[in-house]
Amino acid sequence: MKLIFADASPFARKVRVLILELGLKDSVELQDPGAVTPVSNNDQLNAINPLGMVPALELDNGESLYDSPVICEYLNQIADGPFFPVDSMRRIHTLGLQALGDGILDLSVALRYESAIRPQELQWQNWIDHQNEKIERALDVLEKRCTQFESTPLIGEITIACVLGYRDFRFATTDWRVGRPALTQWFDLIMQRDSLASTIPA
Ligand SMILES: N[C@@H](CCC(=O)N[C@@H](CS)C(=O)NCC(=O)O)C(=O)O
């Protein structure tokens, strides 16, 4: 299998963390296709994911899988892993937590493109403010919910760790830890896992 990824992508990090957690490191070749942005074109990536986004997984039979929740669930399935429980409500809860985390990432990545790529004269402060408010609200929900997170992480917890890592990486000036002591404590603990510690974006 081949994972098309970017070092800075928090969605790709989620998949890389799962690869390590599931002991699949030797079964997945990692390939960085170079710059991936909404305004770049990468024929090799487009052939695997028509949406032109990372991560994308190319299977040995030529089939491609995207996006990160689908890839993670596939890897968990082939390795018979514990990250997507079958028990119905635990499964729904962890998928919900993953959705919340992916939502924060979608907003954060869009804001990153807005500030790093979009020409300054086209940037829209009202839009930026509203995306930031959504993120702050979602982080407040995580502060309340984190005391009930699974003690052995499922896909939801892995996603949230990647969310907070991405906030540190790209948005360090608005520190998410301020006013969120429980989430800070939870993050310090989960970051002791090798899979997360060895994939910190830099
Ligand atoms: N829903 C997708 C989101 C992936 C995504 O947004 N990836 C970004 C990099 S972090 C990307 O490829 N952006 C290029 C683009 O928007 O065209 C997933 O979970 O994999």
What's the whole-number mean pLDDT along residues 154-167?
98
CB distance 111 to 132 below 8 Å: yes
How long, in residues, is the chain? 202
Please report where in the chains the tokens 């009930």 appear, as a residue. Answer: 148
pLDDT at 128 over 90: yes
What's the whole-number mean pLDDT along residues 93-120?
97
Cα(124)–Cα(114) distance, integer angstroms:
9
68 in contact with ligand 1, CB cutoff 6 A: yes
Q: What percent of the chain has pLDDT over 70?
A: 100
Residue nearest to atom 16 of ligand 1 (CA): 38
Mean pLDDT computed over every residue of the chain: 97
Query: What structural domains and CATH numbers belong to the chain?
Result: 2-78 (3.40.30.10), 88-196 (1.20.1050.10)
Express each pLDDT in 67-82 by its tens digit. 999 999 999 999 999 9
65 in contact with ligand 1, CB cutoff 6 A: no
Instruction: Report how far ligand 1's centroid is from the alpha carbon of 36 (Å).
Output: 9
Q: For the whole model, what pTM was predicted?
A: 0.97
53 in contact with ligand 1, CB cutoff 6 A: yes
pLDDT at 169 over 90: yes
Among residues 111, 97, 191, the alpha carbon closest in space to that of 148 is found at 97
pLDDT at 160 over 90: yes
Residue nearest to atom 12 of ligand 1 (CA): 53
> In this structure, which long-range contacts are made by residues 176-182, counting pairs with CB atoms below 8 Å and at least 24 apart in sequence?
176/139, 179/143, 180/139, 180/140, 180/142, 180/143, 182/143, 182/146, 182/147
pLDDT at 87 over 90: no
Instruction: Report how far ligand 1's centroid is from the alpha carbon of 66 (Å).
Output: 10
Express each pLDDT in 4-23 by its tens digit. 999 999 999 999 999 999 99
159 in contact with ligand 1, CB cutoff 6 A: no
* Alpha carbon distances (Å) from 145 to 2, 104, 150, 176: 35, 15, 11, 15
Cα(24)–Cα(40) distance, integer angstroms:
30
97 in contact with ligand 1, CB cutoff 6 A: no
Cα(91)–Cα(85) distance, integer angstroms:
5
37 in contact with ligand 1, CB cutoff 6 A: yes
Instruction: Report how far ligand 1's centroid is from the alpha carbon of 109 (Å).
Output: 8
Cα(33)–Cα(62) distance, integer angstroms:
17
Cα(154)–Cα(139) distance, integer angstroms:
19
What's the whole-number mean pLDDT along residues 173-189?
98
| Banded pLDDT at 144 (limits 50, 70, 90) | very high
Instruction: Report how far ligand 1's centroid is from the alpha carbon of 68 (Å).
Output: 9
Question: Is the N-terminal amide bond of 10 cis, ω within 30° of 0?
Answer: no
